[in-house]
Amino acid sequence: MAEFDDDLLEGVQGRWQTAEGDFVVVEADQVWFLGDTAIYGNISVEKVEGRVVVTFTPTESKDEATTGSFSDGDKSLIWADGDVWKKLQPGENAGTATAVTSGKGHQIGRLSHSCTVELDEEGQERRWTKNGQLGSRQDMNS
């Protein structure tokens, strides 16, 4: 396992994929879902009897903290509740987005590369035009 003696939080920094396929970001001691601005929880790391123990505390007070430990070096986190987070390595593009810049070169947002498609009640793909949803009354009147 990688040594994190100088800063135990160093080993948990970055992007992770949960067992359910969600993407989480750990920066400093904060955790959030990729693309979401709300903080999902806080994370702490300490050595207990020579072993690195990671503790995740959700921001929702009704949820309890859970502990975990590294597996496969520092590439996986196995949580006491059964969840497993796999660390995304630099260059892996799962859940990434492209920066959008203004004419002056300032970053003003990000475009998601997600592969999700919005479906209507019949399971058909929803398509949008500049006038509204394709096939809607507003679109048919243009």
pLDDT bracket for residue 140 (50, 70, 90): very low
- Residue 81 CA to residue 41 CA, distance in Å, equals 16
Whole-prediction pTM:
0.60
Give the DSSP H/E element, type plus range, for residue 27: strand 23-27
Give the DSSP H/E element, type plus range, for residue 139: helix 137-140
- Residue 83 CA to residue 32 CA, distance in Å, equals 16
CB 67 within 8 A of CB 82: no
HSE at residue 142, side-chain half, CA atoms within 13 A, is: 10
56: which residues sit within 8 A by CB, 6+ positions away? Answer: 31, 41, 42, 43, 65, 66, 67, 68, 79
pLDDT bracket for residue 1 (50, 70, 90): very low
Provide the residue ranges of all domains of the chain, joining segments of one domain with +: 8-87, 97-140
CB atoms within 10 A of CB 129: 12
List beta partners, residue 30: 27, 42
Kindly tell me if the per-residue pLDDT of 102 is higher than 50. Answer: yes
Kindly tell me if the per-residue pLDDT of 90 is higher than 50. Answer: yes
Express each pLDDT in 28-74 by its tens digit: 999 999 888 889 999 999 999 989 999 999 998 677 899 999 998 88
Class of domain 8-87: mainly beta
Question: Residue 86 is encoded by which pair of tokens?
Answer: 């796999």
Mean pLDDT, rounded, of the chain? 75
Kindly tell me if the per-residue pLDDT of 126 is higher than 60. Answer: no
| Amino acid 115: pLDDT | 44
